C-alpha cells in the first residue's frame, strides 16, 4: 500500500483537520466529532441540509458544505456509515429553526443511522425530514443495499435542494424539490482498478490487467459484469443505454450531465467519455443544458468513472443555475 498518510486509524480526523485549515471561510469542524459544518452555522430561518456517509468519497460530502449547498457533512470511517450520534450532533449544530433535511445515500447503514439521528433530534423539538437517493441503475440489491445504491447523482440533490433552501423554501418545499431531483436522476459507473481502504491495506477486489467491471459500486460492491477493456465509445454506449432506458426520454427533453471521476481517472479520459455522451444525446434529440466534468464522488484511488443524467424542468434549471460557494463547487 502506497499512501501519503500517518496512522491509518487517523486518516479521517487528519483529513478533516486539513480541510478546516484550508477553508476556514467555508467550514469548521465540530469539536470531538468528524463533522464539518458551515462556518456561519446555524443560519437562522433557513432550512438546513445535512448529508454524509463513509469517508473515501471526497469531495463528498464535506467539500459541498457552504452557501447554496449543504450545512453539514458527516464523515464516517472509510467506507463505513457515520454513527447516529455524529449525525445528531450535525443536526443540532446547523438547525436554524426552520427544520433540517437529511439527504441519505441508499445504503442500509446510512439509512438506519441517519433516521435514528432524525428521531433523536425530533425528540428534542427539531423538525426533521429526510430523502433517500438511489440513482444507480446498475443493480437492484447490492452488498450494503436494499434497492438501488446512491452514487454521484446525490451531488445534484445537494445542489438543487441547497439552492431551494438558500432561497427561503420551507422544509416541505425543500424536501419536495429534493424528491423531484431523485425521481429524475439516473447514474451508472465502471471501474478499471480497485481501491485500497487504508485500515485494510489491500485492494477491495481484483481485476486483471485487461479487465474492467461495469456497474460496480462506490465501495467496490460487485457490478453487473466483468469484461475485457473496451474502447471509450463502446463503454459509454453501454452505460448510456442503461441510463436512458431506465427513465424514458423523448426528443426535446433537457438534461444536466455529470461525468464523475472515481479518484484516479484523468480529466483527459473523462472528457473523452463526455464527448460520446454528448453525441448520443444529440442523436436522441435530448438537449444538454449543463455539463459537469470532474471528481464529485470518488472511491479513494479507484480508476473509473460514472455518468449521471438529470432530466430538467424550468424549476430545476433555475435552481441548478443558482449561486453556490463551497470548497469543491463554486458557481457565482
∠ CA 6-11-14 to the nearest 5 degrees? 90
- CB count in 10 Å sphere of residue 111: 20
57 is catalytic: yes
How far is it, in rounded angstroms, from Cα 128 to Cα 138? 31
Got the DSSP string for 3-20? -S-S-GGGHHHHHHHHHH
Can you tell me whether residue 281 is helix, strand or coil? helix
Q: Which three cell numbers stand for residue 97?
A: 429553526
How far is it, in rounded angstroms, from Cα 111 to Cα 99? 19
Residue 252: phi and psi, rounded to 5, are 100, -15
The burial of 65, by beta-carbon neighbours within 10 Å (0-12 exposed, 13-18 middle, 19 or more buried), is given as buried
Out of 57, 61, 158, 238, pick the active-site residue. 57
- What is the chain's alpha carbon radius of gyration, rounded to the nearest angstrom? 19
Out of 158, 219, 228, 238, pick the active-site residue. 219
219 is catalytic: yes
Supply the residues annotated as catalytic: 57, 219
Amino acid at each position: 500500500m502506497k499512501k501519503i498518510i500517518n496512522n491509518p486509524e487517523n486518516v479521517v480526523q487528519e483529513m478533516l483537520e486539513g480541510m478546516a485549515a484550508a477553508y476556514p471561510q467555508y467550514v469548521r469542524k465540530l469539536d470531538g466529532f468528524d463533522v464539518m459544518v458551515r462556518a456561519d452555522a446555524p443560519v437562522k430561518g433557513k432550512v438546513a441540509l445535512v448529508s454524509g456517509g463513509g469517508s473515501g468519497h471526497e469531495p463528498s460530502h464535506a467539500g459541498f458544505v457552504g452557501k447554496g449547498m449543504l450545512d453539514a457533512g458527516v464523515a464516517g470511517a472509510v467506507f463505513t456509515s457515520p454513527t447516529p450520534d455524529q449525525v445528531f450532533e450535525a443536526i443540532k449544530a446547523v438547525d436554524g429553526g426552520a427544520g433540517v433535511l437529511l439527504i441519505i445515500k441508499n445504503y442500509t447503514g446510512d439509512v438506519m443511522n441517519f433516521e435514528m439521528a432524525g428521531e433523536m433530534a425530533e425528540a428534542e423539538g427539531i423538525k426533521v425530514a429526510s430523502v433517500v437517493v438511489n440513482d444507480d441503475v446498475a443493480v437492484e440489491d447490492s452488498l450494503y443495499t436494499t434497492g438501488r445504491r446512491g452514487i454521484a447523482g446525490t451531488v445534484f440533490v445537494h445542489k438543487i435542494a441547497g439552492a431551494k433552501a438558500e432561497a427561503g423554501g420551507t422544509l416541505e418545499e425543500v424536501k419536495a424539490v429534493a424528491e423531484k431531483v431523485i425521481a429524475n436522476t439516473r447514474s451508472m459507473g465502471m471501474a478499471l482498478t480497485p481501491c485500497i481502504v487504508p485500515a485494510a491495506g489491500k485492494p477491495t477486489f481484483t481485476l486483471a490487467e485487461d479487465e474492467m467491471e461495469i456497474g460496480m459500486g462506490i465501495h467496490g460492491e460487485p457490478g453487473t459484469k466483468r469484461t475485457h477493456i473496451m474502447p471509450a465509445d463502446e463503454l459509454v454506449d453501454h452505460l448510456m443505454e442503461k441510463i436512458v432506458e431506465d427513465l424514458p426520454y423523448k426528443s426535446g427533453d433537457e438534461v444536466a450531465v455529470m461525468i464523475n471521476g472515481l479518484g484516479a481517472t484523468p480529466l483527459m479520459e473523462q472528457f473523452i467519455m463526455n464527448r460520446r455522451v454528448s453525441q448520443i444525446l444529440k442523436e436522441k434529440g435530448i438537449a444538454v443544458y449543463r455539463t459537469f466534468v470532474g471528481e464529485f464522488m470518488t472511491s479513494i484511488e479507484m480508476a473509473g468513472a460514472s455518468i449521471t443524467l438529470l432530466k430538467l424542468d424550468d424549476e430545476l434549471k433555475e435552481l441548478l443555475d443558482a449561486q453556490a460557494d463551497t470548497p469543491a463547487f463554486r458557481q457565482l
